[in-house]
């Protein structure tokens, strides 16, 4: 039985070229980038080149890129660092009800520290209201944090409009672009964003490495302490192997982005076409037009999410509920709940996400197996 991986939004397989780029740093190139001798300076050069590669992919300056341990740390660093550095202005920030828990849990932490958070709602497509954000801004608002594209339903947010409102009001704007990076064109010279989070393991690089874009001249309090790395913004010896792999993955994904976008859109259309031909009952979740091409969230009302996932795994298909798994049982998705969808839709939602290694043949085979499972559940 062929195993088909359709959970790339959770994590992606490491590209062989990325692994090759990392191996020297587990073998002969072991110097600390902060060391002055030649061993250290060789690895320092690699870190500097990688920083330039990632900066170029965003049309940013290398000095505006801070390496982190991943998207979660980047989100934490953005929110905690900005709020701490600008406490004299106020203690209020704005986010949405469908953010990744890396943002939502950080907001809850800040609330325990005495900060105030406004959670802006979304509509049934998972789209944040620009006007609701405008109305939520107060004189003491320091930061707005809205994700670029949702990791569960794929809905793209009106980032440009929100960014313009933030700038009109002198408020900093952060976007979690972890799911969008590699499939959407991100240009910080055009996008009105001040901070932007990235994660390497979503683009066929290793886990444990990410980055935060911080626009030039923005003051941010250090999130970690204990060294002068990353221009004193993030202490800790750099993960050189991870950084090297991250940069190689960026080179690959940026060169093939448009080709991959087209492939993912074809995969999406192919799945839906096969289900329609089979007469499978389903409901699409998310925005019908503005969505990340690699994420397809769909509900099969006749079969519960947990049952569907178990059957998919037996059939060799990896997918996700898009919600947290605790002690072997599924929690109801906070994203789908925030979208105010019917209970039957929320309790039967499945996320399929495409990426490196998938093929049209795999998608056809998976779609037919999925359709068969759904129809079998109807009997």
Choosing from 63, 87, 269, 325, the catalytic residue is 325
The secondary structure of 150-174 as a DSSP string is: -TTT-BBP-HHHHHHHHHHTT-EEE
Q: What letter does residue 62 receive in the DSSP assignment?
A: G
Residue with tokens 């091409």: 293
Q: If DSSP states are collapsed to H, E and C, what string results for 222-290?
A: CCCCCCCHHHHCCCCCCCHHHHHHHHHHHHHHHHCHHHHHHHHHHHHHHHHHHHHHHCCCCEEECCCCC
CA distance 247 to 36: 23
The token pair that represents 151 in the structure block: 């990791």
Determine whether 107 is an active site residue. no
> What radius of gyration do the chain's Cα atoms show?
21
Q: What letter does residue 127 receive in the DSSP assignment?
A: P
Degrees (nearest 5) of the Cα angle 299, 305, 306? Answer: 170
Is residue 320 within 8 Å of residue 305, measured between CB atoms?
no
Q: How many CA atoms lie within 13 A of 2 on its CB side?
A: 13
Residues designated as active site: 325
């Amino acid at each position: 039985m062929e195993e088909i991986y359709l959970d790339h939004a959770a994590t992606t397989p490491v590209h062989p070229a990325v692994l090759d780029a990392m191996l020297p740093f587990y073998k002969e190139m072991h110097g600390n980038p902060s060391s002055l001798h030649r061993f250290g300076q060789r690895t320092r050069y690699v870190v500097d080149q990688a920083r330039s590669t990632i900066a170029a992919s965003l049309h940013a300056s290398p000095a505006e890129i801070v390496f982190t341990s991943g998207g979660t740390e980047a989100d934490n660093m953005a929110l905690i660092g900005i709020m701490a550095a600008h406490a004299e202005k106020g203690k209020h920030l704005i986010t949405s009800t469908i953010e990744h828990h890396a943002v939502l849990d950080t907001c809850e932490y800040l609330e325990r520290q005495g900060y105030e958070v406004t959670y802006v709602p979304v509509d049934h497509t998972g789209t944040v209201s620009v006007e609701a954000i405008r109305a939520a801004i107060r004189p003491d608002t320091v930061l707005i944090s809205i994700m670029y594209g949702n990791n569960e339903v794929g809905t793209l947010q009106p980032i440009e409009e929100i960014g313009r409102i933030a700038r009109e009001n002198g408020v900093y704007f952060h976007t979690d672009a972890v799911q969008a990076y590699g499939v959407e064109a991100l240009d910080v010279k055009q996008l009105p964003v001040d901070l932007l989070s990235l994660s390497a393991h979503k683009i066929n690089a290793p886990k444990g490495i990410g980055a935060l874009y911080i626009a030039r001249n923005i003051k941010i309090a250090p999130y970690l302490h204990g060294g002068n790395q990353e221009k004193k913004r993030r202490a800790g010896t750099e993960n050189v192997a991870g950084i090297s792999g991250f940069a190689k993955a960026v080179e690959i994904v940026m060169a093939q982005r448009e080709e991959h976008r087209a492939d993912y859109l074809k995969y999406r259309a192919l799945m839906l076409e096969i289900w329609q031909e089979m007469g499978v009952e389903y409901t699409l979740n998310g925005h019908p037009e503005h969505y990340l091409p690699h994420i397809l969230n769909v509900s099969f009302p006749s079969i519960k999410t947990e049952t569907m996932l178990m059957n998919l795994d037996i059939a060799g298909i990896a997918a996700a509920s898009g919600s947290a798994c605790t002690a072997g049982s599924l929690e109801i998705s906070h994203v789908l709940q925030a979208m105010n969808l019917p209970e039957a839709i929320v309790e039967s939602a499945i996320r399929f996400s495409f990426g490196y290694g998938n093929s049209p043949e795999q998608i056809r085979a998976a779609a037919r197996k999925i359709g068969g499972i759904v129809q079998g559940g109807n009997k």
